[in-house]
Amino acid sequence: MDYETGKRRDLENESLLGSRNGKRGWFPSRLAVWTLFVWGSVVFMKTLNATVNSEHSLSPKRWPWGFKVNKPELNRVSFENVRNATFVPQLHNVQWIGGSHSHDDMGLFLKEEGEAYVVKSVADEKYSRALLSAKTFVYDGYNYSIDYLQASPDLKQVLVRSNTTKNWRHSTFGSYFLINPTSDSVHLLGHEIAKVQWSPNSKDLAFVHANDLYIYSSQSYTISKRITDDGSAQVFNGKPDWVYEEEVFEGDSAMWWSPQGDYLAFLKINETEVFEFPIPYFSQHEDDVYPEVRSIKYPKSGSPNPIANLMIYTLDTQDLSGVKTGHNMTLITEVVWVGDAQILCKASDRSSDVLSVILADAKSPGLSQVPRVESSEDGWWEITYHTSYVGQDSAKGREEDGYVDLIPVDGYNHLAYYSPANTTEPVILTNGTWEVVNGPAAIDLETNDVYFVATKKSSTERHIYKVNLKDPLNVKEISDTTIDGYFSVSFSSGARFALVSYLGPEVPYQKIIDLKPESTAASEGIAGKTLFYLEENKSLKNRLKGYAVPHRIFKEIHLGEDKDGNAIIANSYEILPIGFNPELKNHYPVFFYAYGGPNSQQVAKTFSVGFNEVVATQLNAIVVVVDGRGTGFKGKDFRSLVRDNLGDAEAQDQISAAKLYADKPFVDAEKISLFGWSYGGYLTLKTLEKDAGQTFKYGMSVAPVTDWRLYDSVYTERYMHTPQENKAGYAKAKVHNATALGGANRFLLMHGSGDDNVHFQNSLRFLDLLDLAGVENYDMHVFPDSDHSIRYHNANNIVYDKLLGWAGQAFEGKFLK
């Protein structure tokens, strides 16, 4: 359910809330054409954070973009220029393709040139290989446009998708075709296909149609094998059901080819026992007088989960076998091939207390071993996706197959090398009071270097590092840690080249680097040699010179002591309005924004100008964001204390922060508000409930969970166990004290009626609670048929207009009792 991630969610309202993604000399002249080097579309960054890490002062502040905030001719930030992408940086995705070892890594990538799709090389600027000459094609007399394209590993054929329709958050359906550029032939795999994946052998493709799994031959252009025949509305083969897509894989695939393409592993998910949840839609068609009801299999906490089984199909023999995961290991969370015929499966109990690592040999169906069974030790096992296979190579000092995993080391997430794959004693590659983010980003199999992104400098920053399998704990910097920075990185197939994206706190840029140059310019501040800048965002920097953008001041905030007498220190940032004057008395309202979900993060040094800046500018308010206890990247002790008790410590930390601001002489303590969406909407209501109007006078809650019994099992039970096991915890975590909520001056509740994630049921049950208690100090707005992102029929504009306008009325005293 998380927007951020911690739980890795795409921020559904990034257009106004700002940018997200985790974050960080300039302008060499080599080949201006390379600035067009891009496969994919411009994307928004994904975090609610950015700008400068410094305390405010009374003197005029020079901004990182080179202008002073007190120049009277500068424009103010408004909804209009946020909505028209005035402040959105251009960022590009690169589809790397090619060899798997750095010695044959030419840095091949797929690029659009006009209407054509062309393979280019970072290493050889003269290299060019056209795959397709147009973005449309003709099949059976009909014209089709290309929505998605993926070349075969040998680059001889191209898989394309057209007629794409959206399913759930990550999944789509479409018509898939195979195009042979040499013969200029087009072959239809099928319509209404959910997912297609190339085999590493370039000969076979696996695809899912009507929840059954098929093998298609790229040589005969026919279906060579139907692997399953039990696919239905209840049984999913190779494709996740709703809860596995949303909460486990966060993607649309549940199949995995072996390294040589000899085997295909996939999940068979049976949700026969999962209860259905009906969602009525009222505004789909003008002529409909009865609502359209769509039912979704949705396991609420404590109710039956789907049953998932890992299957392995052998292409030569056409045998199909299952992998045993253990009686209580009901969630399959990650699958990785760790050899040509050896597969690793991570499984956990439904409450993520115990993690089992299972190894199975595809050559010996039915046989498996469990080298690792690990307890979460009063925390929980977060799902990971980046466990990476390290193949045997005696010449490189690797005597057996193994893998690099992300594991807790003294309460912080770090890299560990397991070799052989069935060992129980790994080599710890990194350690310290900081965390590796997600896992290994790439492994250079020629040098044994493991690249990763981590919080080693600061939990609010992301820098790039490497460590060698043969030199553990000797961590070396790749990005320049002498500057504040939030970086992300993607690597070419052999990990020689990398796309480095600096995402903040200043204006983002992207560059391509060679990690194995003959010489490196030390002045560049980053390991490797910069080949060229893919994006400099010069236009954005120029536009910013015309605006007075309120900047973000990052700091650690002291929120008192916990029950053991330890200081509670949280990350936070504040945005001061333009022209802020600390000499004024009882003047400034304070607008808190919170998300606060387990293992999430909002306070990160990314660049963005969004809704929070609009609030600071248009309402002349101080905006504050605090990542209290339960949030991520500050170690297990900080996040795991919310286990079985959601909404308690998180709410207390928001109240403690609000009290600190209420005591500031320039703050009007009667005008302190809190806004949150999804988990943040829940946290808003829990905070108002706990505070009972003492500190927070106003609240704005969008699409909130109000009772954790109503949310999905996989997410909820990870943090709360089941309602049967933790009845008192669920009762306490529920928004239940309507009388206390009545202590606030007023609050606003908004929800989409078509929300398939946090069901509208949550808000309706909450409204019933208010009715029973006679509480009336609230406003309500429902968005017909909108899902969790609230975008249907202009809803996204309206929801933010409502938030800004309602907060403005609150600060003007319109809602005083």
Q: Known catalytic residues? A: 678, 755, 788
Query: Are the CB atoms for 664 and 712 separated by under 8 Å?
Result: no
Q: Return the structure tokens found at 763.
A: 């808000």
CA distance 404 to 415: 7
Q: Looking at the DSSP assignment, which residues form a beta bridge with residue 403? A: 389, 418
**Which segments of 616-683 are extended strands (E)?**
622-627, 667-677
Work out the burial of residue 637: count CB atoms within 10 Å of its CB; fewer than 13 is exposed, 13-18 middle, 19 or more buried: middle
Q: Return the structure tokens found at 391.
A: 């193949």
Query: Are the CB atoms for 712 and 243 separated by under 8 Å?
Result: yes
- Cα angle vertex 591, ends 587, 593, to 5°? 165
List all residues 6 or more positions away from 77 whose beta carbon is below 8 Å from its beta carbon. Answer: 87, 547, 548, 549, 550, 609, 613, 614, 616, 617, 618
Q: Return the structure tokens found at 348.
A: 């956990």
Query: H/E element holding 656?
Result: helix 649-662
Query: H/E element holding 800?
Result: helix 795-811
- Residue matched to tokens 């590659």: 429
Tell which residue, 654, 574, 589, has the closest CA to residue 814. Answer: 589
- Residue matched to tokens 């501040």: 525
- Cα angle vertex 416, ends 412, 417, to 5°? 180
Written as one string, the DSSP assignment of 586-633 is S-EEEEEE----TT----------SHHHHHHHHS--EEEEEE-TT-SS
Residue type, 811: F
CA distance 573 to 593: 10
List all residues 6 or more positions away from 707 whose beta carbon is below 8 Å from its beta carbon. Answer: 730, 734, 735, 762, 765, 766
**Residue 511: φ, ψ to 5°:** -140, 155
Beta-sheet pairing, 463-468 with 449-454: antiparallel
Q: Return the structure tokens found at 455.
A: 């919080």
Give the N- to C-terminal CA distance of the chain in Å, as an integer: 35
Query: Are the CB atoms for 337 and 390 separated by under 8 Å?
Result: no
Written as one string, the DSSP assignment of 203-272 is SEEEEEETTEEEEEETTTTEEEEE--S--SSSEEESS--HHIIIIISSSS--EEE-TTSSEEEEEEEE-T
Query: Are the CB atoms for 546 and 66 separated by under 8 Å?
Result: no
- Residue matched to tokens 């049950």: 765
Tell which residue, 739, 734, 701, has the closest CA to residue 720. Answer: 734
